[in-house]
Chain A
Amino acid sequence: MNEQKPPIVIPALIGGVFLGVTSALPLIEFINCACCALVIGGGVLASVLYLRDYPDYLPPISYTDAAVLGLLTGVIGGFIWTMVDLPLEFFKMQIGMGMMDISELSEALDDPRIPPALQTFLADFIAHGGMTPGVIIFSFIMNLMFSVIFATIGAIIGIAIFQKRPAASVPPTAPGPQPPVMG
């Protein structure tokens, strides 16, 4: 009997693409305003897809396995979110619909309370239409942090709700040589 667990990469990839693309798309992104629903949904989707391929004869999926699945989903989702979001955000800022208002930032340039280093950064930010390396890295870190946290929670919730058997509290370990762990 093949006791190898199904790979987590495919469900994580599908969940990650789902959360990354939907979280970046205009209008649809606002669903995240409901407690990060799209990101949690990406984690749940990954767990449901993983459960679909998970054979019944294996021990139930543990919450730790679910967390690893959600973590991978979040990492993939964070990358995709940033890749899709940056060009869209650049375009939205050009037409004055971005999250940060360029005119507000321009006013901040004249504020004497802002340190010169920050003023230089802001001037660079405005000159490049919001696409400086610093902003790209910052956006990526924020997206990655949010998607990793919430996709992990989503995958754990998905396993808790959709797995028919109660999840094992710790990952099951079989005696003898271990098959490669997931993916």
Chain B
Amino acid sequence: MYSVEADNLIKRYGSNEALRGVSFRVDAGEIFGIIGPDGAGKTSIFRILTTLILPDGGSARVLGQDVVRDYHEIRRRVGYMPGRFSLYQDLSVEENIRFFATLFGTTLEENYDLVKDIYSYLEPFRKRKAGALSGGMKQKLALSCALIHKPEVLFLDEPTTGVDPVSRKEFWTMLTRLKQQGLSIVVSTPYMDEATLCDRIALIEHGRFLDTDTPAGIISKFTLPLLAVDGPHMPSLLRDIRQIPQVFSCFAFGDTHHVVLRESGLSEEAQIDLLHTALYAKGHTDLTIRHIKPGVEDCFMYLDTLEERS
């Protein structure tokens, strides 16, 4: 049985079509990532699957239960961590977790094993008000509260947004451990490095999935030439690269610019020569240009550019 099955989900807010036919399956014990820009429809998917809003079309089942008819059953068996911090800021860490345990008819002690990896970070601060925690700690508390009733599927809507890189890494280590315990996890994130930690990902844009595959599968579909360029003056280099007719797109990627070339039949060497020549004409010297393998972020930027230009 699939943990999640969504078929042609549609959601409208007034005249705005937030979801325009979204379908996917999540296997038991899988980490499924939903990757896309703000307003693409990620949160609507989460809210439909956690039975908080109704779809305007299509259907979905979580753990085999229908999200409209069997909402009561689903709510008991899933954990949900919304994008916005939604715990009680004026209750302490311990009070929050006990409150959520009570809501689901359990106790912290009963399910301590499940949350102890995460909760152990919080225990030194258990008397502190949730509102006074740092971003990384708030997120750990929210995850503990979402886990306290031993859910079978976990829905995490941008759990690491605004969290520093060290805490993000810890958080993903925890998710991997939860997965090993058999939990299915549906997670959305704006961080592309996290996308590669998922078993499968869906790229979403304007309420539609552009592609669903393993990270490696998504990357293998990127076939245009991709080069990394760096030089002494990066901002003007970015503008000048974009002026070259053979360039499909160019974006800053950390310490280099990633350049996607149009299909041309040129050899790799000729592609590098072409960029050197065109950029030399604009006064850029001392450039380093080399071919690179695409990452998920390159794929996302490519699909996003395509979509924007169509």
Do A and B belong to a common assembly? Answer: no
B residues near A (Cβ < 8 Å) are: none
A residues near B (Cβ < 8 Å) are: none
